[in-house]
Amino acid sequence: MWRRCARLALRCGRALGSRRLGRALARLPAVPLAAATVALMIASAAQVKQPPAPALRLETPATHSNGPAARGDAARPRLVAPPPGSYELPVIQPGPDGSVLDTAGRAVPLRAHTSGRVTLLSFMYTYCVDPAGCPLLFSTLYGLRERLQTTPELARRVRLVSLSFDPVNDTPETMARYAGVLARADQPLRWDFLTGRSVAELQPILADLGQPVAIQLDAQGKPGRLYYHMPKLFLFDRQGRVREIYSSAFLQPDMIYNDIRTLLLEEDATRSARK
């Protein structure tokens, strides 16, 4: 059995590559907070998922008949993960503290949405139009939802969370409309859509997870409604600890699905050992 990453100077699951983005965000003009303007600048620990251990195999469209090229898509390599349970995912860090709002406007601890089940958390905003940003995260989560729901015993143990970093525009009512049927209690797999009461309350959460976000300025140098942000997914175990962080290049459903299964198998083994 191998571990996804080694314990080096960096926390597991994160790579040096995103330091460049962190420095770029830090050079963006500062935007003062205003009552009707969200301006987030969290560029302190922008680190993303480290390249996997050698057990992960790189597969190109040329070597895989069902790859993107075979479907007529743009050719790009994909990672083939080892079987669930054949590797370990070390604990990266404890989950963040903080308060968020659900779609009913209730203030709840974020930990209530990142513990108790294996959880995938993403940060987003509802009017994002960048195909490589929030839509990519949403598509990845939706595909995993559809796959997990085919196995009810898995769906009951997994949760998806979409947390907006724009509390001014993404109110609880807006998040409820955005979620639609996906957030209904009768769905086989739980998907929580959350926002915050203020930028000030969300900033510590973003900083703790190393999620950089910055508002874009218009041609006149005034704050707009679009954001610079690095798409990331955070995988939490049942104890609410971060076990993996996926950047854009690693938003590959097969790998994430296997990681979820690995955590569930770990949980089952721990439960059996206690009997």
134 is in an annotated binding site: yes
Could you give the CA distance from residue 38 to residue 227 in angstroms, rounded to a whole number?
A: 10
Run of H or E residues at 78: strand 78-80
Could you give the CA distance from residue 140 to residue 136 in angstroms, rounded to a whole number?
A: 6
Section 250-260 average pLDDT: 95
Please tell me the predicted confidence (pLDDT) of residue 244. 98
pTM for this entry: 0.74
229 is in an annotated binding site: yes
Residue 15 DSSP one-character state = B
Using the CB atoms, write b or e for 28-46: b if 16+ within 10 Å: eeebeeeeeebbbbbbebb
Cβ-based neighbours of 112, under 8 Å, separated by 6 or more: none
Domain tally for the chain?
1
Bridge-based pairing of strands 78-80 and 241-246 is: unpaired
Cβ-based neighbours of 216, under 8 Å, separated by 6 or more: 223, 224, 226, 227, 228
Please tell me the predicted confidence (pLDDT) of residue 77. 61
Cβ-based neighbours of 58, under 8 Å, separated by 6 or more: 77, 78, 79, 80
Q: CA–CA distance from 84 to each of 15, 116, 273 (Å)?
A: 23, 20, 19
Please tell me the predicted confidence (pLDDT) of residue 222. 67
Are 255 and 79 in contact by the 8 Å Cβ rule? The answer is: yes
pLDDT digits (tens, 9 = 90+) for 28-85: 443 333 333 333 333 323 333 443 443 444 443 343 333 333 333 344 466 787 999 9
- The CATH number that applies at residue 81 is 3.40.30.10
Q: Identify the domain containing residue 62 by its residue range.
A: 2-274
Could you give the CA distance from residue 254 to residue 66 in angstroms, rounded to a whole number?
A: 14
pLDDT digits (tens, 9 = 90+) for 224-250: 666 778 899 999 999 999 999 999 889
Q: Which residues pair with 34 in a beta bridge?
A: 37
